[in-house]
Amino acid sequence: MKTTIIALFLCASVAGGQTMRSSIGRSLFSDQKATMPGDAVTVVVVEVSSASNDASTSAGRASNLSLSGSGNSSGTSLADVSLGVGTGNSFKGEGSTSSRGSIRARISARVDSVLANGNLAITGNRTIEINGEEQIISLSGIVRPSDIQSDNSVFSYNISDAHIVFKGNGMVDRAQGPGWITKLLHWLF
């Protein structure tokens, strides 16, 4: 019995006292979430944006001035006199603009620092290259620990000050842009 108590005491002293904050990631009873600098968190990027604006203007103005006269004098008719002046002005303008965008991706990000209020500053980059086409996804922002789900993922709409960049390089990107002659002509004119 004494040897069991001594063995338990030695195990407890070797393990040392750990604070709850330092052992939260290794607990058998809690989810393993990103809490410290260097921890990884999965960001589920689900961004859909849509905007539209319509405008219509119509204005008109018209004015007429007319004068007419005729007369008769002892059996002889006088010449008919008529005068007319008219002006008109009208304008009609319409315009509309619309924009739509959608991004869906999953990217792993790293906790850079823990802010004073406990929020996490994260950054992440992913580069995918297929047949000479390169797609680059980068993001950064601030995440509340309570927004991190039990599977250690967070949706992009829960990231404050989010900066998400999705760009590509390669043959398709070059084909979509104007050629150098067109660029030169646009610069000149």
Residues 3-28 have pLDDT tens digits of 777 766 655 555 555 455 555 545 55
The listed range with the strongest mean pLDDT (51-55, 108-112, 177-181) is 108-112
Of 151, 156, 117, 153, the closest CA to residue 140 belongs to 156
pLDDT confidence of 89, banded at 50, 70, 90? confident
CA 114 vs CA 142, 145, 153, 159: distances in Å: 9, 10, 17, 14
pTM, to two decimals:
0.54
Quick check: 153 and 42 in contact, CB under 8 A? Answer: yes
Quick check: 75 and 25 in contact, CB under 8 A? Answer: no
Percent of the chain surpassing pLDDT 70? 70
